[in-house]
Amino acid sequence: MAAPLGLAAYRLVTMALAPAVPFFLRQRALRGKEDTTRIRERLGYASVNRPSGTLIWIHGASVGESTAALPLVDAFLKSGHNVLVTSGTVTSAKMMAERLPGRAIHQYAPVDTPAAAARFLAHWRPDAALFVESELWPNLLHRAAGQGVKLALVNGRMSERSFRGWARARRVATALLSLFDVCLAQDAQTAERLRQLGAPRVEVSGSLKADAPPLPADETKLTALRSAIGARPVLLAAQTHPGEDETVLPAHDALRAHHPDLLTIIVPRHIERGAGIAMLCGSRAVRQRSRDELPDADTAVYVADTLGELGLFYRLAPFCFVGGTLVPIGGHNPLEAARLDCAVLFGPHTESFPQAYDALLTAHSGIRVSSAHDIAHAAQRLLADPAGTKTMGEAAAKAAAALGGAVAKTLRTVEALLDARA
């Protein structure tokens, strides 16, 4: 069957632009968006040798997808396979360097030109390729399928907005999804959307993020923070976006009327926003973690604008507000907080993790809020009842544990694909 016109045009355009790709990569490197020491990986040139034996290639676009894949990486390694993980951002590469098991290999994903895809696949020769969530690169997918690589979309997630966008290019969507031997969706709604777009084999596996281990924390740093905070009550707002900090700060002011020593900790989703949040605090006494500052007795707001330290702050608070939920982002993963015995406050936008948020509500370990007044009211109730809040946090951890199973399902499915290939 001939490729849809859109995919044929995409291939021609990427071929035509290929000579300019090194220039664009160097420009991105000047802005800190590429690793200057590993740019050749982005062109498909491997920096290490392929190990002998079966190789599972797992691709996640950025930090979130790569983190979700970590328990899957561990499971494949324990099954005796070699694992290659690719991602496309500098921050994800740094995170992988810290958290990837020693036997696994990380490389930057090649840009999606025909030549880079060919070089990458000729070197690595993966037996199976797993694309996490919704990262679909036509040249890579077509080349891999043509080489007989077993393809799986894992931890699949598709919002209503993304579905509408793909539906407008249904022939392209069907052509790409038909390349996958199996699509494993996080939930029934995503599964149905994938079927409507033409995926031939779709199963519901649940979310890999439900199987993730608790976020790590440096014990020395945790001790230092606990010492600096002491017995002060804490309002934690994690993974916030613009528009949410402006809601959390008035809630902080309202709570201070009852708790004059309250410390509010804001962990922005994007750490480069730290200075802006500090300015937003106005006359409130503020300190920034990116400046190697700890909160002191006078600090009202502590901006935790550093990378990879969220596990520290979930261990410091019995409850938290999870961001991306008051603004139409879809919400960030509440299970990261729940696993560490944190009760969760969240806004109305929870489309990215509907099952997780629903589970927390069902377990009476989550509270939906929509305004500064709601946050202050819920936080005041939780601060006034430490024993009840502790019980809510424990219920959150149990609810998170009950959602597990996606890693085992994915492992079984991929093993069956490998057996069929053999």
Q: Which residues are paired to 345 by β-bridges?
A: 321, 367
Beta strand 182-185 pairing with 128-132:
unpaired
User: Which residues have a Cβ under 8 Å from the Cβ of 397 and sit 6 or more positions away?
Assistant: 338, 339, 340, 341
Single out the residue of 224, 162, 172, 214 nearest to residue 193, CA to CA.
Answer: 162
Residue 422, burial from CB neighbour count under 10 angstroms (0-12, 13-18, 19+): exposed
> How many Å apart are CA 126 and CA 120, to the nearest integer?
10
278: Cβ contacts below 8 Å, ≥ 6 apart: 286, 288, 303
CA distance to 250, 262, 281, 304, per residue, from 257 (Å)? 11, 9, 17, 24
**Among residues 41, 65, 135, 351, which one is catalytic?**
65
Asked if 390 contacts 318 with a C-beta cutoff of 8 angstroms, the reply is yes
End-to-end C-alpha distance for the chain, whole angstroms? 26
DSSP 8-state assignment for residue 260: T
**Could you count the other beta carbons within 10 Å of the beta carbon of residue 1?**
5
Sequence-distant (6+) residues with CB within 8 A of 49 are none
Residue 65 appears among annotated catalytic residues: yes
**Non-local CB neighbours of 103 within 8 Å, separated by 6+ positions:** 77, 82, 83
Closest by alpha carbon to 135, among 115, 112, 116? Answer: 112
Give the integer Cα–Cα distance in Å for 316 and 226: 7
Catalytic residue positions, numbered: 65
